[in-house]
Amino acid sequence: MAFKISVIMACFISMFQLFLNGEQAQTDDKFISHTYQIKKAAGKIKIDGRIDEEAWGNALVLDVNNEILPSENIVAPVKTECLVLYDDKNLYVAFKAYDHQPKQIRAYMSDRDNIYLDDMVGIFVDTFNDRNRAFVFFCNPLGIQMDEILSDGGAYEDDSWDAIWLSAAHIDDKGYEVEMAIPFQALQFPGNTVNQTWGFVPVRLYPRSQRHQITNIIHNRDNPCLLCQSHKLTGIEGASPGRNIELDPTLTAFRTDERKVFPDEPMKKKEAKLDAGISASWGFTSNLTLSATVNPDFSQVEADIAQQDINTQFVLYYPEKRPFFMEGKDFFSTFINAVYTRTLMDPSWGVKISGKEGKNALGFFLSRDQITSLIFPGAEGSKYTTLNQGATAGVFRYRRDIGPSSTVGILFTDREGKDYYNRLAGVDGLVRIGRSDSIRFQVLGSSTLYPATSARKFLQKEQRMSGYAMNFSLRRDARTYGWNLSYENFSPDFRADLGFIPRVNYWKGFVSGNYSYWGGANSFFPHIGFGGDLFQVKDHRGHLLEREVEMWVDFEMPLQSIISLYAGKQKKIYNYVPFNQDFLHLYCRVRPSGNINLACYLDIKDDIDYAHTRWGKYFCIEPQVNYNIGKHLQASLSYSYSYLDVEQGRLFRTHLAQGKLLYHFSRWAFLRGIIQYTDVSRDITLYRSPENPENRRLFMQFLFSYKLNPRTVLFLGYSDIYDGLLDVPLKQTNRTLFLKIGYALSM
């Protein structure tokens, strides 16, 4: 009954937004949106980073001279001009980024999408003018590209999206110039409009002692919806993505040898494998894309960052990196993480549709996985397993724009296998009330049947079970203060097997508040924020699981430095035993020059030894350094040291270290080496069950990459794994040599 009432309430809130005067709520007289007319290019433009073609003389020229961070709406410290044109196939954008100290320009050779710390210029293009979603294209002074999708009015960034477009840049004694050619084929936009009207925000990032964000809009910090404040471009006529067909054949060869029984059995050579696959996409309208893949290569070419998995309460989360699933990821994102594609471990095929028609956004994919992965969540912990059987997975997502910048949507997921299924359905929404206030909600229901053997092994119900989940948040994000009231409730039998839900059988009430001080131009403290929060978690029988009160403070200072301090108290009930805990978290970051970035995280807290239900004292420190050695060579080193002390002694200690070295031959080619080392030691006299006193692992990966664009690639790599125990030196347990070739053919 509670589930049905919640669904009705959610729908009512969404429909009520129809009666709100949202346009008036999102604007005021001080912050006016202008409309600019752009013209068609009179001649050809060569993308070489030099704005010297005659066609640019007819361009719309926008002054990008308003700094919005760290100062608020002041004249920028540098001058920037943005030039805009179009022809039948491309949107052309150029920047003249003047700099009175061009030798201080920060630009390094890197892989695409990895220029966050550099000087760069770019644009936000809201092609549907819906104030909710925008395509983003940036370029640094060496021509390195970065693209992503903004959603939720600009609050959510999805840098997994990759488009094929052209860019070039050069540095001179006046600053630097950038040229971009963005094919209409790479965008989605209304196909039935003769004269397009797009939201458009040109941006320059100017990192020195402070990281200046410069644009041409007058930004209202009381309105967290950045896209609601964008200016408009009009005048684009006859824009068409063409046939918009892309074929991406891939060829993958690999050879893996392994030691199945450690440490005595010798390494055994496996037969080399050669796999061919193909992916294809077709923009069958100007704003809907159909993608399909057969025998895809879902291998990753970069190792996951090592995480400490000792004495953890819940299953660890790893981000998705596989291109097929990352493309259009924002269409499937919801408040509750109900779609997590890394649950699909070894797909043999997949098909996907994503895009937007008017106010309607659509996402759908269907895939056949050869392995079934399962998370068994609970109130106090979760477990993970895989089944050696296939499953078919499907996701359907629909979202509707309501008013100027609110949305309501539905989600369905289904995974079916032998003696197994998980089905989920629900509704969600984002309702903006005024400039600073918003309501977010989501309600889901699920039905699940596990295979009998797995249900018995992991203490799950052997019959069909159903459950619900809901999340509701009322928040204010204003210039000087904000607050958040939220409530979430996950029933004991709720399951989202295509998502990442490691905890169920609980409800949580949460309240927080914050205050911001904004310094003026050249202030030593451009921003100081402080606040606190309070939450309580109980299970569905009414037993307390957690209660916490926390205070925090953030300082931003020169040299792009940040200090964040969190401290508080927590009461936690685990396995019916109460624990009173104090905690302190500290994060520091500083960038003393353009080529070095230093950071450190410190965690000191009372903790729990979950294996034996006893109090402990936890300590963790994680320093990190990133260093650009010239324009082409980059090095990074991170290290984590942690331990847990119990009353009888030190239960365990861990060392995790990762080093990375990259040499970029050019914009398109690099050579990379990664080394990860893990060392875990335990006092076995303090454990009830048998444990190894020491485990060590050394992982190494070397990769040569040539990437002409996101899908025309060549990867050649080698990886090694060595394992060791207390009395056993490191021995090789796995080695792999792999080659991948991919080619993007557009028609």
Condensed to tens digits (0 to 9), the pLDDT of residues 224-271 reads 899 999 999 999 988 877 667 889 899 989 899 999 888 888 888 887
pLDDT in tens, 317-328: 877 777 777 777
Query: Residue 518 forms beta bridges with which residues?
Result: 527
Task: Round to whole Å and give the CA distance between 543 and 530.
Answer: 32
Helix (H, G, I), strand (E, B) or coil at 184: helix
pLDDT band at 302 (very low <50, low <70, confident <90, very high): low
Q: Which residues, 6+ apart, have CB-to-CB distance to 695 below 8 Å?
A: 678, 679, 680, 723, 724, 725
Distance of CA 88 to the CA centre of its chain: 33
Q: Which residues, 6+ apart, have CB-to-CB distance to 324 below 8 Å?
A: 279, 291, 293, 296, 298, 350, 352
Question: pLDDT at residue 346 above 80?
Answer: yes
Question: pLDDT at residue 697 above 50?
Answer: yes
Question: pLDDT at residue 466 above 90?
Answer: yes
Residue 503 DSSP one-character state: B
Q: Are 244 and 250 in contact (CB under 8 A)?
A: no
Which pLDDT belongs to residue 721?
95
Q: Are 420 and 451 in contact (CB under 8 A)?
A: yes
* Helices and strands: H and E segment counts in the chain: 4, 43
Question: pLDDT at residue 16 above 70?
Answer: no
Q: What are phi and psi of 76, to 5 degrees?
A: -65, 150
Query: Residue 363 forms beta bridges with which residues?
Result: 354, 397
Q: Select from 306, 99, 280, 290 the least CA-distant residue to 205.
A: 99
pLDDT band at 28 (very low <50, low <70, confident <90, very high): very low
Task: Round to whole Å and give the CA distance between 467 and 447.
Answer: 7
pLDDT in tens, 32-67: 789 999 999 999 999 999 999 999 999 999 999 999
Tell me whether the omega of the peptide bond preceding residue 70 falls within 30 degrees of 0, making it cis.
yes
Question: pLDDT at residue 709 above 60?
Answer: yes
3-state secondary structure 20-31: CCHHHHHCECCE
pLDDT band at 205 (very low <50, low <70, confident <90, very high): very high
Mean pLDDT of 180-200: 87
Question: pLDDT at residue 26 above 70?
Answer: no
Residue 271 CB: number of other CB atoms within 10 A?
6
Which pLDDT belongs to residue 308?
67
Among 125-134, 315-324, 411-420, 466-475, whose mean pLDDT is lowest?
Answer: 315-324
Which pLDDT belongs to residue 378?
95
pLDDT in tens, 434-463: 889 999 999 999 999 999 999 999 999 999
Task: Round to whole Å and give the CA distance between 432 and 225.
Answer: 9
Q: Are 458 and 48 in contact (CB under 8 A)?
A: no
Which pLDDT belongs to residue 665?
96
Q: Are 231 and 199 in contact (CB under 8 A)?
A: yes
One DSSP character per residue, 77-143 reads: SS-EEEEEEE-SSEEEEEEEEE-S-GGG-------TT--TTS-EEEEEEETT--SS-EEEEEE-TT-
Which pLDDT belongs to residue 608?
96
Question: pLDDT at residue 604 above 50?
Answer: yes
Which pLDDT belongs to residue 522?
81
One DSSP character per residue, 433-455 reads: ETTTEEEEEEEEEEEEE--HHHH
Q: Which residues, 6+ apart, have CB-to-CB distance to 71 below 8 Å?
A: 212, 520, 521, 526
pLDDT band at 331 (very low <50, low <70, confident <90, very high): confident
Mean pLDDT of 347-371: 91
Mean pLDDT of 280-284: 86
Mean pLDDT of 175-193: 89
pLDDT in tens, 113-172: 999 999 999 999 999 998 888 999 999 999 999 999 998 888 888 887 889 999 999 999
- Measured torsion, CA atoms of residues 545, 473, 436, 517, in degrees rounded to the nearest 10: 10
pLDDT in tens, 547-584: 999 999 999 999 999 999 999 999 999 999 999 999 99
Question: pLDDT at residue 193 above 80?
Answer: no
Mean pLDDT, the chain, whole residue set: 90
Measured between alpha carbons, how far is residue 187 from residues 30, 240, 291, 432 in Å?
32, 10, 15, 27
Task: Round to whole Å and give the CA distance between 715 and 699.
Answer: 19
Which pLDDT belongs to residue 155?
80
Q: Which domains does the chain have, with CATH numbers?
A: 31-237 (2.60.40.1190), 243-311+619-747 (no CATH)
Query: 193 or 384: which carries more pLDDT confidence?
Result: 384
Question: pLDDT at residue 489 above 70?
Answer: yes
Which pLDDT belongs to residue 300?
54
Which pLDDT belongs to residue 299?
56
What share of the chain in percent tops pLDDT 90? 74
Question: pLDDT at residue 9 above 70?
Answer: no
Which pLDDT belongs to residue 322?
73
Question: pLDDT at residue 738 above 80?
Answer: yes
Question: Which pTM was predicted?
Answer: 0.88
- The label of the residue with tokens 């229901």 reads 445
Q: Which residues, 6+ apart, have CB-to-CB distance to 318 below 8 Å?
A: 304, 307, 342
Task: Round to whole Å and give the CA distance between 125 and 136.
Answer: 6
Which pLDDT belongs to residue 412?
98
Question: pLDDT at residue 2 above 60?
Answer: no
pLDDT band at 194 (very low <50, low <70, confident <90, very high): confident
Question: pLDDT at residue 727 above 60?
Answer: yes
Among 7-16, 44-53, 583-592, whose mean pLDDT is lowest?
Answer: 7-16
Which pLDDT belongs to residue 18?
37
